[in-house]
Amino acid sequence: MTDIDLKSADAIRVLSIDAVTNAKSGHPGMPLGASTIIYTIFKYYLRFDPSDPKWIFRDRFVLSSGHASAMLYSTLHLFGYDLKIEELKAFRKIGSITPGHPEYGHTSGVEATTGPLGQGIGMAVGMAWAERYLAKNFNKSDCSVFNGRIFALCGDGDMMEGISYEAGSLAGHLGLGNLVLVYDSNNITIEGKTDLAFSEDVGMRFKAFGWNVISVDDGFDIDKIRKGLDSALAQNERPSFVIVKTKIGYKSPKEGSNKVHGEPLSDEEVDETRKSLGWEYKERFYVPDDIRKNFMTVVEEKKKQRKDYDKRLDYYRSSYPSDYERMIRWLEGRFDIGDIDLKDLKPLATREYSHIIINELSKSVENIVSGSADLAPSTKTNIVSDEKKNIHFGIREHAMGAFVNGVSLYGMIKPFCSTFLVFSDYMRPSIRLAALMNISPVFIFTHDSIAVGEDGPTHEPVEHIMSLRLIPNLYVIRPAGFYETLMAFKFALKSKKPVALILTRQKVSPLVEYKDITVKNFSYGAYNVIEHGSPDMIIAATGSEVDLAISVSKELLNENIKANVVSLPSVEMMKENGENYIRKIFPLNVKKFVIEAGRTCGWSDIIGDRVYSFGVDNFGYSGNEKDVYKKFGLTVADIKSKIKEIING
């Protein structure tokens, strides 16, 4: 442990508290306590190139405790990432690249959006799995190109979150020896000492998960931290959990107090902290040249490592040209999705159509992987041709969501995951983060309505579809029939944003007669399936209710009532086509009737004036699916009667 190392770790501390105090907002406690840890990881272990932060062969560092963002930003600044000192001065201000919690895609070097505690652990597990999966697909006995490691830094709050249990258990089961989770153990949370609410032996918990557990008794001693990390990396059969004892608010007047967790230090307290650290420079945001030189020396070493790695890649390219080309194809997502045109299509659930489609598409789109929270026989998402493409998450929905986010963040792999729609609430924070990060996992939610039937209201989603539509930047697609389901999958494969596919349990018509209309118009998100010149009514429907709407329209026509039918698989896709398109499909002067087997609130905001919506605004029943639909009036006769009342009213 050299003096320059200690000063460099202190430089991260000082910049962090300067940023927080200058912003008059933020969390100084963990940066003061954990800066030695992050410095040690970056200098001695992490493979990175700050001039190419997206280099696919880099190691990953995830700050699960996102409230310590000032520490991460200071570290990235000092190690040469594109983050100027002015950005630290603009910490937590609109327009800066240093928001209150780290945001992926917003700040160079930030590997994941974190802040909701525990999410970073789940994403790190997904990244570690992705690295291992790519290694199995591309590494050769004489040339290992995927050999990276995933480091994540977490705190006491992360350890209390349920997702840390799910993700920790899964990582141990999978034997992800390339994952190192470092636990900044300072025994303090916002309300006070952790023993107010948390008294378990966390190390024993992770041992029970099957992790390699290591303890470091002094988080301010670089040599001891290195010894712990060396021990972690000496084996690769199990993930490692390194418990590092620290003090929150180290060397500040509030050291060891919960008051330093999320309250900025005053200017006077910042000065006292500098003095306690032996930091002789009073000027804010100042780091002397000798310390900056140390960081730049490290960066030069990292760039040499990059050049050595590039030589290995050159060898791989020349020795295994077809595998190299395949690797680049995965990296760039260059796949011919192709087409699927089945003969003699029969009525099936859209989850059954989905099973056919994902298995056909996986033959040409090689980088698809698919997993389920112990429901693959029901959600039909298993890939039959290659078991290695299937991920068994167990009953861990929340970790599953974070895991596929991590896989998507890693790159090169297109992850799908599935559960019943009613359980999407168990993974909602992960879905929201996927949308916030603008990444593209695909969430498949089946058993999408009261047609679940006999299992009853605990398993019958009612509010879930409309609730998912409330998440910005998430495509929610509820397809009708075979061809909409096919087009939904094709869209999801190309999408740069997350997609939620909503699929039925019950059989629906394949709607073969509307194939050409569907293929031509699906990308609009809403389109006329049946169209009359001057309609008396426009019936819009999603998913399984499109077939119902078509039947109603045909019945009404027998009574000289002209009703257009609009299939509306995706509100988000429709909105992207603009107000003019929406008004073309849903003219303002025509009455509109929306059918969806879920909550009806929101349709007027989506479609416009003169909207009548028909759906399910209460919990369902346990019974035969057709009886449950009839109980709620979701029948041709009932809807036809309702529409006639509206037209004649």
So which residues are the catalytic ones? 397
SS3 541: strand
SS3 213: strand
Q: Give the 3-state secondary structure of 434-456.
A: HHHHCCCCEEEEECCCHHHHHHC
Neighbour tally for 322: CB within 10 Å: 7
Write out the DSSP string of 69-110. HHHHHHHHHHTT-S--HHHHHTTT-TT-S--SS--TTTSTT-
Helices 222-233, 29-44: axis angle to 10 degrees equals 60
Distances (CA, A) of 350 to 110, 211, 417: 38, 40, 16
SS3 416: strand
Nearest to 430 by CA among 406, 462, 466: 406
**Dihedral angle computed from the Cα positions of residues 316, 338, 390 and 63, in that order, rounded to the nearest 10 degrees:** 60
- Structure tokens, 393: 């998450």
Nearest to 367 by CA among 413, 331, 431, 298: 413
Helices 3-23, 69-78: axis angle to 10 degrees equals 130
- Structure tokens, 93: 């201000």
CA 555 from centroid of its chain's CA atoms: 45
Taking a C-beta distance cutoff of 8 angstroms, is the pair 178, 128 a contact? Answer: yes
- Structure tokens, 606: 């989506």
